[in-house]
């Protein structure tokens, strides 16, 4: 469960325990800290679940072509040439048509340094148009979801938001637990007063989808800038990611795949790009590279990143809906020899678990049913946030924040302290923020606390 101030009020027949009130107070503060972020992430996450479907509608004139019985598909090099003729610049990538009725996409960096996606009809080379990469709708949605637009600090805040979302779920379940109560447990009480209805809507919705929201919060952690990066390095340095032999006898650059490729998997973000070795021979060219990718069985829909210099490689990355079919292949641009050719099956246990959980998080692994479950969690998060805001507005004292008061003489038991310490060790930024809130709560003058209550 999530968001501000769950009105999990104690029964009128018995006072709430000190622990109950303390948990309620922390649920309130957790919601207060992350409510705006949760609303943003739930809204953008719901949209991104259907990125392919939305793109197919919004960009239909660019993506869809009529299969031609009179013409054959032109060569990949001709597709790139057509795109560059219409939009002069340096070609950086090619996405071959995924099906007979799909266009090809050519990535161009124009003379102003702007990235463009140019769409080409594969049957005749007609250029259908171009979209600036920074203007792509789903790209904007994804950057909003990850807070990339708001700088380095905000991007690191994702870890804190996800950690506090975990606090919200755990404390929310504690507050929702029936304790002999029958009303407002599995369905809202419509006739029990409007404030109670909003409380029940918040709590009951969380009871049904809280586990899914907890899963989303935990599986969002690998993308965080601090914790995610540390875990990535730990997994790959301890035999839990791709085996080290994939790089032992291969020339390597100093550029990580996460920076060099248009798309890559979590497991390969920090892995070094292989490097081509100049032999004096001419490069094999994109047509031969595409043929080799086909011979190697790379699934359709892959993106080919073109060599960016004499040491660059042809890189095909296929990230299908089912994580087991994902594949990355790098070819030496002079010999066509595969320098790296691996997918999900080659991963160690740690990376497999994370990659699979990311696929489920994004609504891909189990098809449409997966999308619907994650959509329900996103919409439920929005509903709970709205219910919590309404509930807080109705119960807040005039001129005060309305924070639940800390019980007199309350002492946190060893279990609570142990959980807090464990969270701080596993998620350092979350632990630091937890400590900061504890200090502020402890150091604030009583006069201010009374105004807040």
Question: For residue 303, how many other CB atoms are within 10 A of its CB?
Answer: 19
- Cα–Cα distance between 249 and 378 in angstroms, integer? 46
Please give the structure tokens belonging to residue 288: 């031969």
Q: What integer pLDDT is reported at residue 414 of this predicted model?
A: 65
* pLDDT tens digit sequence for 157-179: 778 888 888 888 888 888 888 87
Mean pLDDT of 77-98: 97
Cα dihedral sign, 129-133-136-139: positive
The answer to whether the CB of 438 falls within 8 A of the CB of 172 is no
d(CA 266, CA 244): 16
Mean pLDDT of 22-38: 82
What digits encode the pLDDT tens for the residues 344-390? Answer: 999 999 999 999 999 999 999 999 999 999 999 999 999 999 998 88
CA-angle at 161, arms to 156 and 166, nearest 5°: 135
Cα–Cα distance for residue pair 215/276, rounded to 1 Å: 41
pLDDT tens across 397-423, in order?
Answer: 776 666 777 666 666 556 666 767 777
Mean pLDDT of 266-283: 92
* C-alpha–C-alpha distance, residues 48 and 378, integer Å: 11
Residue 194 CA, distance from chain mean position: 36
Do the beta carbons of residue 44 and residue 37 sit within 8 Å?
A: no
Q: Using a pLDDT cut of 90, give the percent of the chain over it.
A: 53
Say if residue 280 is exposed, middle or buried (CB neighbours under 10 Å; 0-12, 13-18, 19+): exposed
* Short-list 169, 212, 164, 184, CA closest to 2: 169
**Residue (of 332, 357, 338, 330) closest to 267 by Cα position:** 357
Lowest mean pLDDT among 26-30, 58-62, 250-254, 275-279: 26-30
For the segment 193-214, the average pLDDT, to the nearest whole number, is: 86
Tokens of 253: 């650059």
Contact at 8 Å (CB) between 145 and 15? no
User: What are the residues facing 390 on neighbouring strands?
Assistant: none
The Cα–Cα gap between 200 and 179 comes to 15
Task: Provide the mean pLDDT of the chain.
Answer: 86
> Residue ranges of the domains in the chain?
18-38+145-223+368-452, 53-140, 242-347
Percentage of the chain beyond pLDDT 70 is 88
> In sequence order, which residues have a C-beta less than 8 Å from that of residue 44 and are 6 or more positions away?
141, 142, 144, 145
C-alpha to C-alpha distance for 99 and 80, rounded to whole angstroms: 18
Q: Which are the contacts of 172, defined by CB distance < 8 A and separation ≥ 6?
A: 1, 2, 6, 27, 203, 206, 210
Q: Supply 365's token pair.
A: 């692994």
CA gap 223, 162 in Å, rounded: 11
**Residue of 116 and 196 predicted with greater confidence:** 116
Tokens of 402: 């309305």
Cβ count within 10 A of residue 61: 11
Residue 452 neighbours by CB under 8 Å, 6+ apart: 400, 401, 402, 403
Instruction: Report the C-alpha gap between 318 and 297 in whole angstroms.
Output: 11
Residue 198, both tokens: 């909003």
Bigger pLDDT: 157 vs 316: 316
């Amino acid at each position: 469960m999530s968001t501000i101030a769950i009105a999990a009020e104690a029964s009128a027949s018995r006072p709430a325990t000190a622990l109950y009130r303390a948990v309620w107070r922390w649920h309130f503060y957790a919601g207060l800290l992350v409510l705006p972020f949760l609303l943003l992430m739930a809204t953008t996450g719901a949209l991104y679940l259907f990125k392919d479907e939305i793109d197919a509608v919004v960009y239909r004139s660019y993506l869809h072509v009529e299969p031609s019985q009179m013409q054959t598909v032109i060569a990949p090099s001709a597709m790139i040439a057509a795109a560059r003729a219409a939009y002069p610049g340096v070609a950086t990538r090619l996405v071959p048509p995924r099906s007979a009725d799909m266009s090809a996409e050519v990535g161009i960096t124009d003379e102003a340094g702007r990235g463009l996606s140019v769409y080409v009809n594969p049957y005749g080379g007609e250029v259908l148009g171009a979209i600036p990469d920074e203007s792509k709708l789903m790209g904007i949605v994804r950057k909003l979801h990850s807070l990339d637009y708001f700088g380095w600090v905000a991007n690191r805040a994702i870890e804190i938001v996800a950690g506090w979302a975990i606090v919200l779920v755990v404390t929310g379940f504690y507050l929702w637990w029936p304790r002999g109560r029958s009303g407002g447990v599995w369905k809202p009480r419509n006739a029990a007063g409007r404030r109670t209805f909003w409380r029940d809507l918040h709590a009951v919705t969380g009871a049904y989808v809280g586990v899914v929201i907890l899963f989303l919060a935990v599986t969002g952690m690998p993308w965080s800038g601090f914790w995610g990066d540390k875990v990535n390095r730990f997994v790959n340095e301890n035999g839990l990611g791709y085996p080290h032999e994939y790089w032992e006898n291969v020339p390597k650059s100093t550029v990580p795949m996460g920076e060099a490729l248009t798309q890559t998997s979590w497991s390969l973000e920090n892995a070094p790009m292989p490097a081509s070795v100049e032999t004096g021979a001419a490069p094999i060219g994109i047509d031969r590279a595409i043929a080799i990718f086909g011979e190697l069985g790379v699934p359709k829909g892959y993106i080919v990143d073109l060599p960016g210099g004499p040491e660059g490689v042809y890189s095909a990355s296929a990230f299908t809906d089912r994580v087991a079919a994902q594949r990355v292949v790098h070819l030496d641009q002079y010999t066509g020899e595969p320098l790296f050719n691996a997918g999900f099956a080659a991963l160690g246990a740690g990376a497999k678990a994370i990659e699979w959980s990311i696929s489920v998080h994004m609504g891909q692994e189990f098809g449409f049913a997966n999308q619907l479950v994650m959509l329900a969690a996103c919409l439920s998060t929005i509903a709970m946030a709205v219910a919590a805001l309404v509930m807080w507005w109705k119960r807040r004292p005039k001129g005060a924040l309305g924070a639940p008061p800390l019980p007199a003489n309350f002492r946190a038991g060893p279990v609570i302290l142990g959980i807090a310490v464990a969270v701080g060790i596993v998620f350092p930024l979350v632990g630091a923020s937890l400590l900061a809130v504890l200090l502020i709560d402890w150091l604030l003058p009583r006069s201010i606390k009374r105004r807040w209550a």
